[in-house]
């Protein structure tokens, strides 16, 4: 294994010394405590996991080794891993956030990946200048700006809200932004998505539009939305920035930077820019908006990362809006969120409803938001004529299909009772249909109701062998003389310990290049690998004497080696000479004793 491979993917972005320095300056307990309420216990800190719903704290943070691990869902990593996951950032942006937190200046590095990161930062700076131009233009006293302000005033948007959201105005002229930013090349503005290339040269993308800056978790302006105030070549009522190095519609929610500050258990999801602004204006500051795209897993993670456990979908009530709601429900559930649906019947959108009826009535309506099951049951009821036998059967079968995915018998029985009353079909028949559909999906009702943690044993997995591998690696990183003894005597290889993440960790232990256990996470990219490392580090043991340490090392090594030799003997059983050699090695391992040098 080369040193570059050992150092891992993140060395493509910054030197390991730089990454380590940022981590040293950001104590993981202090960082995590800004997201999770932590309580000291047994040498670590515990709190409710931000990555899955739980009632009892199973999320641990270890200050000595600078890593976190959830005993419930298995999430784990160092301080950079935590910021990546909780803020839904990639590695460079997570490192930059942590560096900014402690006023550390990251050095430039000229790799392709770093060029991409630099391009994003350059786009952010250009967007900031553009946002300032649009905001200042809205404040001017010319007829165009006056008309734009009058439009906002008529929509109930106050100057306070204009400042809060940084709203602006793009004049009708073809080159207002181009002329206002003479120090930025048209090519750079085009790369940022602010201008287009035409036959006569570059021209402004946004013209005669109210401008909505889109701001990410790092408070960067990553893109813009524009509401048409007249007619232009695009014609659309709303347009967004095109996708750039910084802006992807499927990875951002409008108003998220403000909604996170609400620290609410519920996040309301609406469709439009004006809906978000109107909701915030009336005190519903836990509102975000999708940007003209279907709700994706990345959106759901952004909602989850605010600390909320419930998403309330408030999308359009027309056919397209209902379809969008139905597509969004499983996406949100997959991320561990409870889902409620709020339907407006007296207005076309939240903005209109609030303008007509006010915040108090909306708040009452919000309290009556339906569960996603109740919402779908009502849709099925509208779809089928339950005054007929065919309609009652079809309605009940559709209801049974969605109830088959539930794991709470109490919740299932509550819905079954309602369905039975509406259809006059017996609860026992409905329950049998639910159980049949659940089993057809590969899961029996009994299995669904078994108490279990999120971290599951794999079929056929030898837990004793896995524990020996984890325990040995933990020991090797905690006691470098043990790693040295195994390496110098060639007692164990990456293949013998099981390959994969275990094999790579063994080779890293043999290189003796890790200064802190938290550095291990920087050498692996996937969540599964980082989870495995955290699980290993969380399984730490103390040895009262050198003899106890040597015995533990020897016992775990024997279990691992003997398991590998047994597997090899099975594979080579037709080759008697090989089997004889392996049997001899097996005997040597059984008789093995290890003595460690001091230091």
pLDDT in tens, 521-543: 888 878 888 889 998 888 778 78
* Nearest residue to 325 via CA among 370, 288, 295: 295
How do beta strands 209-215 and 370-371 pair?
unpaired
Mean pLDDT of 378-398: 93
CATH number of this structure's domain 112-247:
3.90.980.10
- Residues 235-277 pLDDT 10s: 688 999 999 988 988 888 999 999 988 888 899 999 989 999 9
Give the containing element (helix H, strand E) for 195.
strand 195-198
Residue 566 in contact with residue 589, Cβ under 8 Å? no
Q: What CA–CA distance (Å, rounded) separates 571 from 476?
A: 30
Say what the pLDDT of residue 458 is: 47
SS3 95: helix
pTM: 0.63
Confidence class of residue 117 from pLDDT cuts 50, 70 and 90? low
Pairs from 31-39 (Cβ < 8 Å, separation ≥ 24):
31/79, 31/82, 31/83, 31/98, 31/101, 32/61, 32/68, 32/79, 32/82, 35/86, 35/307
Integer CA distances (angstroms), 144 to 160, 170, 371, in order = 21, 9, 46
C-alpha dihedral sign at 281, 124, 146, 148: negative
Residue 468 in contact with residue 506, Cβ under 8 Å? no
Q: Where are the domains of the chain?
A: 3-101, 112-247, 256-368, 375-448, 464-590
How do beta strands 266-270 and 238-240 pair?
unpaired
Fold (CATH) for 256-368: Dna Topoisomerase Vi A Subunit; Chain: A, domain 2 (3.40.1360)
Residue 16 token pair: 């390991």
Say what the pLDDT of residue 80 is: 93
- Residues 225-234 pLDDT 10s: 999 997 544 5
Integer CA distances (angstroms), 188 to 93, 205, 494, in order = 21, 13, 49
Q: What CA–CA distance (Å, rounded) separates 271 from 161?
A: 19
**CATH class of the domain comprising 3-101:** alpha beta
| % of residues, the chain, pLDDT over 90 | 46
How do beta strands 266-270 and 221-228 pair?
unpaired
Confidence class of residue 371 from pLDDT cuts 50, 70 and 90? very high
Confirm whether 3-101 and 256-368 share one CATH topology: no
Residue with tokens 């310990």: 497
């Amino acid at each position: 294994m080369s040193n570059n491979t050992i150092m891992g993917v993140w060395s493509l972005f910054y030197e390991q010394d730089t990454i380590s320095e940022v981590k040293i300056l950001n104590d993981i307990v202090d960082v995590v405590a800004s997201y999770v309420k932590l309580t000291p216990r047994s040498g670590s800190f515990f709190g409710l996991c931000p990555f899955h719903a739980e009632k009892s704290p199973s999320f641990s943070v270890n200050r000595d080794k600078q890593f976190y691990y959830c005993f419930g869902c298995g999430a784990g990593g160092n301080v950079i891993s935590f910021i990546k996951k909780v803020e839904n950032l990639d590695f460079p942006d997570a490192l930059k956030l942590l560096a900014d937190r402690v006023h550390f200046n990251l050095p430039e590095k000229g790799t392709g990946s770093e060029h991409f990161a630099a391009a994003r930062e350059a786009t952010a700076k250009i967007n900031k200048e553009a946002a300032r131009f649009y905001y200042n233009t809205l404040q001017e006293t010319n007829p165009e700006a006056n008309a734009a302000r009058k439009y906002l005033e008529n929509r109930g948007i106050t100057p306070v809200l204009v400042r809060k959201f940084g709203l602006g105005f793009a004049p009708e002229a073809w080159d207002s932004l181009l002329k206002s930013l003479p120090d930025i090349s048209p090519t750079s503005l085009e790369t940022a998505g602010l201008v287009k290339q035409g036959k006569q040269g570059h021209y402004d993308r946004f013209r005669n539009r109210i401008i909505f800056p889109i701001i990410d978790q790092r408070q960067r302006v990553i893109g813009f939305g524009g509401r048409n105030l007249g007619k232009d070549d695009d014609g659309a009522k709303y347009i967004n920035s095109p996708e750039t190095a910084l802006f992807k519609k499927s990875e951002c929610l409008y108003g998220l930077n403000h909604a996170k500050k609400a620290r609410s258990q519920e996040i309301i999801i609406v469709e439009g820019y004006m809906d978000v602004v109107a909701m915030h204006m009336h005190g519903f500051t836990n509102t975000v908006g999708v940007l003209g795209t279907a709700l994706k897993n990345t959106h759901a993670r952004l909602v989850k990362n605010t600390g909320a456990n419930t998403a309330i979908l408030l999308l359009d009530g027309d056919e397209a809006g209902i379809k969008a709601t139905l597509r969004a429900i499983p996406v949100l559930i997959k991320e561990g969120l409870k889902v409620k649906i709020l339907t407006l019947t007296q207005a076309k959108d939240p903005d209109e409803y609030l303008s007509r009826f006010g915040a108090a009535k909306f708040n009452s309506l919000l309290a009556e938001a339906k569960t996603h099951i109740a919402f779908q049951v009502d849709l099925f009821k509208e779809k089928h004529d339950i005054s007929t036998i065919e309609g009652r059967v079809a309605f009940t079968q559709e209801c049974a299909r969605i109830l088959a995915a539930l794991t709470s018998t109490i919740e299932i029985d509550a819905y079954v009772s309602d369905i039975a009353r509406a259809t006059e079909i017996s609860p026992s028949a409905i329950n049998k249909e639910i159980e049949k559909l659940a089993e057809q999906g590969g899961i029996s009702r009994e299995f669904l109701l078994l108490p279990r943690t999120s971290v599951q044993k794999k079929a056929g997995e030898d837990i004793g062998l896995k524990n020996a591998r984890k325990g040995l690696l933990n020991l090797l990183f905690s006691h470098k003389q043990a790693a040295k003894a195994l390496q110098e005597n060639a007692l164990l290889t990456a293949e013998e310990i099981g390959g994969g993440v275990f094999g790579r960790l063994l080779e890293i232990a043999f290189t003796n290049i890790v200064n802190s256990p938290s550095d291990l996470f920087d050498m692996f990219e996937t969540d599964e690998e980082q989870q495995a490392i955290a699980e290993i580090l969380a399984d730490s043991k103390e040895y009262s004497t050198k003899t106890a340490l040597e015995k533990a090392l020897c016992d775990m090594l024997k279990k691992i080696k003997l398991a590998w030799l047994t597997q090899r003997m099975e594979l080579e059983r037709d080759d008697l000479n090989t089997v004889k050699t392996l049997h001899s090695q097996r005997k040597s391992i059984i008789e093995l004793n290890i003595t460690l040098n001091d230091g």
